[in-house]
A and B are shown apart, each in its own frame.
Chain A
C-alpha cells in the first residue's frame, strides 16, 4: 500500500535533535503519529526497531494519560 507512494523525507528527531523517548515528550510523540492518530510504522519513519518499540510504549502511555488521543473519531462533548 504505502510502497507505491513516493516516500516523503522523515526527520529523525531522536537522532538530530537528541530528543528523549518519554511519554511526556509530546513534541516527539506527535511527530510519530499520523493524522488519524495511528502510530507511524518504522519502515516509513526510518526509526530503528529498538527506538520504535520504546516509542510505541511511550505513545500508549501518553494515550492512557489523555495526553494523546487514541483516535481522531473521538469527539469532545
Chain B
C-alpha cells in the first residue's frame, strides 16, 4: 500500500448565485470527495453572497466559499477537475499551505465587526463549519 503524502491546501471558489439552488449540496460534494481520498477538512467558510469588484461572466455578485483541506495529489486533481467542468463555479483559487489553518478568517470577523459597529443585522448570515 503506497503511503499518500498529504499536503495542506487553501481553496477559495466562487459560485454563481443564480445557478446554485443549494450551496450545501455543493459543499457536501467536496467534503465527501476529500474524505474519500483520505483527507481532512480543517476549515470551511461561507462568506455569503458578496458583491464583486468587477463583473465576472456578467455577474455582479457571487457566493464565496473557503476551504482549508489536507489531502493527497489525486484528491486535489479531482477537486480541480470538478471546478473546471462545473457550471456553477465561476472562479477558483488553490494555494499550497505549510500547515492547517482552523481559525476563522478575516472575512467572517469583519462581518461581525461591521454588524457591531453599524448596529444593522445583515440579512446574510455567515455560516462557519469547523471540523
Contact = CB atoms under 8 A, between A and B. Distances in A.
Q: Which of B51, B54, B60, B107 has the most CB of A within 10 A?
A: B54
A66 B106 contact: no
B11 to A, nearest CB: 11
A25 interface: yes
A28 B99 CA distance: 23
Secondary structure type dominating chain B contacts: strand
Interface residues of A, number: 18
B60 A77 contact: yes
A76 B12 contact: no
B56 interface: yes
Interface residues of B, number: 20
Nearest to B53: A69
Q: Which of B14, B56, B91, B106 has the most CB of A within 10 A?
A: B106
A57 B51 CA distance: 22
Contact of B14 (A61, A66, A77): A66
Given A22-B106, A24-B105, A70-B53, 13 more contacts: A20-B106, A24-B106, A25-B106, A26-B107, A27-B106, A64-B91, A65-B12, A65-B93, A66-B14, A68-B53, A74-B54, A76-B60, A77-B55
Interface of A: 20, 22, 24-27, 61, 63-70, 74, 76-77
